[in-house]
Amino acid sequence: MITDATAQSTFVPNYDENKVVNYSLPGLGDIIGEKINNVSQWEKAKGKWLQIYASEMYGTFPLKKISVTSKLLVQKPILNGKAEMNVWEVSLAGKVKVHLIGFIPLGTPVKAALLGLNFCGINTVFMDKDIPVSSKYVICNESPFFNNHIANDKAVGIQEDKWQIEKVINAGYASFSVACADFEEDFPDGYKKGVRTILANDLKLNPKDWSAMSAWAWGLSKMLDVIETLPELKNTKMILHGHSRMGKASLWAAANDTRFDAVIAIQSGEGGAALLRRNFGEGIEPITTRFPHWFLPDFAKYAGNEYTLPFDQHILLSLIAPRPLFVSSALDDQWADPKGEFLSAKEAGFAYQLYEKKGITEVNMPDTEVLVGKNINYYIRKGKHEVNALDWDYFLKFIPKVVSGDF
């Protein structure tokens, strides 16, 4: 599988903290030319920060309303009757068909629901033969589950350990997933058959006005349109989560759509939670060279000139405030710059303080498997760039606090 961490590049990354250049970060009020001292000022600045991220990095996040309708394709009890699995075919403006899968606990009020983009089709997140197999190009290509990046029926459930559906259900929470490829396939020309092109007239946007990252983020927002109509999920906290590039998309989605009550960004790295000004791990040059469709083409101009950026990723995290935020890293995932993720999350605490919320007070990075922070949580574990069962144990410590507000 091609991932942020394994895709090939001629770029030589820096993994030596002694070679990290000195840098200063933009202040929250730089965009309006004044120091931010209260929520009113910050709310004014937030809109301008969103505009500059849209013009310089991610592209437009569409705000024009379109019709979003759904048809239930599959409904069945699972896990010995503990939950119900549903698969919907969602239609966007009657032109784009998307498959949304949901796992909802039975017999108990659902206080929180998780929504995440998957890499390789909804058929990979849970072992059940009734889940439709994706026909889209995906980054996965392991034999014998995929043929030329297209899933076959052997791919059912092959990534269920990354989703831990039963563990989530046992905790009393619902879980939803949608494939990023249903909005835009993950390669440079993927936009030609995706929402950016098919819905260009409906959204009154040129495909080049936004990026794959914005297409995926906007897709999450459209799935929330559907989930909100489910009667069993009234008064339910909606928590976005995403790993790697999907973590980047989740942060951008939550920054634009405040209906998401919390975000879990898992090893989101460059273009996600990690600070861009640190010359550590992946940089703007390799990410924009290998994945030019993820961001606007002009974002590449900051490669080697990161200090000229009008923002850095602590601002993106600050746009989530005052909603709870969980930033997760892995020790061996140096490509994603865990320290840069920690420092970014810590810096975002200034925005949370405006709402009388606490962020991260620890000066130094915590040891592995030590959860730190209040309304912003940070955790790093041993191991590589992936989502595993241990990660979910920590996420499930975070979710009850989101539900209760007890941070």
Half-sphere exposure of 256 (CA within 13 A, CB side): 28
The stretch 335-348 carries a mean pLDDT of: 98
The stretch 77-103 carries a mean pLDDT of: 98
Q: For a pLDDT cut of 70, what percent of the chain falls above it?
A: 98
The stretch 120-143 carries a mean pLDDT of: 96
pLDDT > 50? residue 229: yes
Q: What is the pLDDT of residues 264-318, one digit of tens each?
A: 999 999 999 999 999 899 999 999 999 999 999 999 999 999 999 999 999 999 9
Q: What is the pLDDT of residues 156-191, one digit of tens each?
A: 999 999 999 999 999 999 999 999 999 999 999 999
pLDDT > 90? residue 7: no
Q: What is the pLDDT of residue 2?
A: 39
* Domain of residue 231, residue span: 17-66+86-120+163-404
CA 100 from centre of chain = 16
| CB < 8 Å & 24+ apart, contacts of 228-236 | 228/259, 229/70, 230/102, 230/104, 232/104, 232/110, 233/104, 233/110, 233/113, 233/174, 236/110, 236/111, 236/112, 236/113, 236/174
75 is a domain residue = no
143 is a domain residue = no
The catalytic position among 244, 250, 328, 329 is 244
Q: How many domains does the chain have?
A: 1
The stretch 237-259 carries a mean pLDDT of: 98
342 is a domain residue = yes
Lowest-confidence pick of 4-8, 100-104, 272-276, 396-400 = 4-8
CATH number of residue 238's parent domain: 3.40.50.1820
Q: How confident is the model at residue 11 (pLDDT cuts 50, 70, 90)?
A: confident
Predicted TM-score (pTM) of this structure: 0.96
359 is a domain residue = yes
256: number of Cβ within 10 Å? 22
pLDDT > 80? residue 248: yes
140 is a domain residue = no
DSSP characters over 10-48 = S---B--GGGPPP--PPPTTGGGTS---SHHHHHHHHHH
DSSP 301: G
pLDDT > 50? residue 3: no
Q: For a pLDDT cut of 90, what percent of the chain falls above it?
A: 95
The phi-psi region of residue 222 (left if phi > 0; otherwise alpha if psi is between -120 and 50; otherwise beta) is alpha
22 is a domain residue = yes
H runs (alpha helix) in 21-146: 39-56
56 is a domain residue = yes
Q: What is the pLDDT of residues 363-376, one digit of tens each?
A: 999 999 999 999 99
398 is a domain residue = yes
Task: Name the average pLDDT for the chain.
Answer: 95
Find where tokens 């061996």 sit.
332
Assess whether 385 carries a catalytic annotation.
Answer: yes
Q: Which residues contact 358 (CB under 8 A, 6 or more apart)?
A: 349, 352, 373, 374, 375, 407
The catalytic position among 149, 243, 314, 385 is 385
Q: What is the pLDDT of residues 198-213, one digit of tens each?
A: 999 999 999 999 999 9
DSSP 236: P
